[in-house]
Structure 1
Amino acid sequence: MDVLLKEKKNQILYLTLNRPEKLNAFSMELTSSLITALKEAEADDDVKVIILTGAGKSFCAGGDVSSMGSRRDPATAIASMQNTSKVTKTILQLDKYVISAVHGYAAGAGFSLALASDFIIADQHARFVSSFKNIGLVPDLGLIKLLSERVSLPIAKEWISSAKIVSAEEAYAERVINRIATKDLLEVATEFAQFIVDGPPLANKFVKYMLNNASDFSHEASIMQENIIQTLMFQTEDAKEGVRAFAEKRSPDFKGK
């Protein structure tokens, strides 16, 4: 059985974590397959956005707790963690937008995976939990920084230190997620993705990069970065098409060139 299902349709790549018997917990095979698929999508001009979801009852239960006893040797443990954390690093560094469509539980590293995505769409019954403290561990795969960038510090501390199970409604109220789906989850995620599919790929690439790295720059440096990138963008075919479309009162047809 393939641990990752792939389907490309209308310039959207759907990636489905497919270990339903383990609630899509990470394994070495799943980690490797997901990283490879994400990198292939980045190189595929026919893919404008990626929707990530899970098969079965939940989005992702995080690490496979049943295999953690084999990681007692520090060298083995750090090698495993460095390998798995490449998943969230890849999403954060990817040129293209990633949408996590969450149902059931996004727990532990599964919560990290959702937070690394650019957008989160959750169904009404979705639950988010940083469950590491229940097994005497600290968050990983970037969860501490990713969560603290979305919610206030006291809320992040509470959710992490108490292993609070956060409902979709509370996650939306705290602006952790973009939408709550009141109908079919993938249908809502696909509808949400349309503004990306219709949008300019090059501009989206640079917007993602600048926003993801905004905290690293002063206001002056950020403005200079915008000016340099904007100067380059003026030379693109997409910018020229956008101007033509505006003058002709039609929707632009962006090609990512």
Structure 2
Amino acid sequence: MSEAVLTSAENGVLTITINRPEAKNAVNRAVAEGVAAAIEALESDDSLTIGIITGAGGTFCSGMDLKAFLQGELPVVSGKGFAGFVEAPPAKPLIAAVDGYALAGGMEVAIACDLVVANKDAKFGIPEVKRGLAAGAGALLRLPRLIPQRYAMELALTGDFIGAERAAEIGFVNRVVDGSALDGAKELAATIAANGPLAVKASKEVIAKTEDWSHDEMWAEQQKIIGGIFTSEDAREGAAAFAQKRKPEWKGR
């Protein structure tokens, strides 16, 4: 895997670090390919329940590497989009741990994640309109589904930045922490990783798909996803562990 992206796994959590601090973790082709490979590792490893994506050196991600772009390099992976995953997020949950700035494509990386933990001094923004561009890596599509439309409209049309507290107020950030966002994200990830992996993955899938279902079909569609969980080994193990007052030993089946 490229040195532009580092990974480490511990207790069911895969941490993915964009490692270009000298470029404020701007996304070039190497980052996109590295993140794509890391996401594939997250998906294929049954010992992993959840991932965290963060940036080295105190900055989350400043967006697309414009120098690389001017040299004809596109920071995308075919079928997966910008940063190697924004068009095809993993089936397993992903947390963005945001220190410093998450701007333009950097904010769109956070948008593509399921949860966001931010340091109190973090800044978010999609300033593309200030350069005559549009936020085409997911912000215009996904942000109105995550926060009230009028707030999404303001961010998109003004290009202005907002702080972590404001981002939490409007429903974009889950947790604001005083210290390292990565430490806060690891705490949240540990809580999730302690749960049944099949149930976690299925719960994410239902929530991600529910707005595409009509009222008449939503119960049947949900059943297709969660039905097998209730007859799984993990479901029996969870019930047994509760009855025996012990920690469950998940098998992922």
TM-score, normalised by the number of residues in structure 2: 0.92
- Please say if residues 38 and 90 of structure 1, whose CA atoms lie closer than 8 Å, have aligned partners that are also in contact: no
Question: What is the deviation of 1:247?
Answer: 2.3
Q: Give the 5 Å matches for 1:72-111.
A: 84-85=81-82, 86-91=84-89, 94-111=90-107
Q: Give the 5 Å matches for 1:158-237.
A: 158-237=154-233
Question: What is the deviation of 1:90?
Answer: 3.0
Equivalent position of 2:236 in the other structure: 240
1:221–1:58 Cα change, 3 Å: same
Three-state SS of the structure 1 residue aligned to 2:160 is: coil
TM-score, normalised by the number of residues in structure 1: 0.91
Distance 2:225 2:117 in 1: 30
Question: What is the deviation of 1:78?
Answer: 11
Question: What is the deviation of 1:147?
Answer: 0.9
Equivalent position of 1:15 in the other structure: 16
Equivalent position of 1:148 in the other structure: 144
1:239–1:219 Cα change, 3 Å: same
Question: How much identity, in percent, do the aligned residues show?
Answer: 30
Distance 1:77 1:6 in 2: 23
Question: What is the deviation of 1:131?
Answer: 1.3
Distance 2:3 2:226 in 1: 42
Equivalent position of 1:48 in the other structure: 49
Question: What is the deviation of 1:7?
Answer: 1.1
Q: Which amino acid aligns with 1:189?
A: A
Distance 1:36 1:90 in 2: 13
Equivalent position of 1:65 in the other structure: 66
Three-state SS of the structure 1 residue aligned to 2:238 is: helix
User: Unpaired runs of 5+ in structure 2?
Assistant: none
Q: Deviations over 1:196-249 (max 9, x none)?
A: 111111111111111111111012211112233343112210111112123223
Q: How many residues align?
A: 251
Three-state SS of the structure 1 residue aligned to 2:69 is: helix
Distance 1:122 1:78 in 2: 24
- Please say if residues 35 and 90 of structure 1, whose CA atoms lie closer than 8 Å, have aligned partners that are also in contact: no
Distance 2:51 2:75 in 1: 29
Greater fraction helix: 1
Distance 2:56 2:226 in 1: 41
Deviating above 4 A after TM superposition, structure 1's stretches of 4 or more consecutive aligned residues are 76-83
Q: Deviations over 1:149-206 (max 9, x none)?
A: 1211111111111111110010010110110111232221111112211111111111
Matched, 1:32 2:33: yes
Q: Deviations over 1:115-143 (max 9, x none)?
A: 11111000011000101112111112111
- Please say if residues 49 and 93 of structure 2, whose CA atoms lie closer than 8 Å, have aligned partners that are also in contact: yes
Equivalent position of 2:250 in the other structure: 254
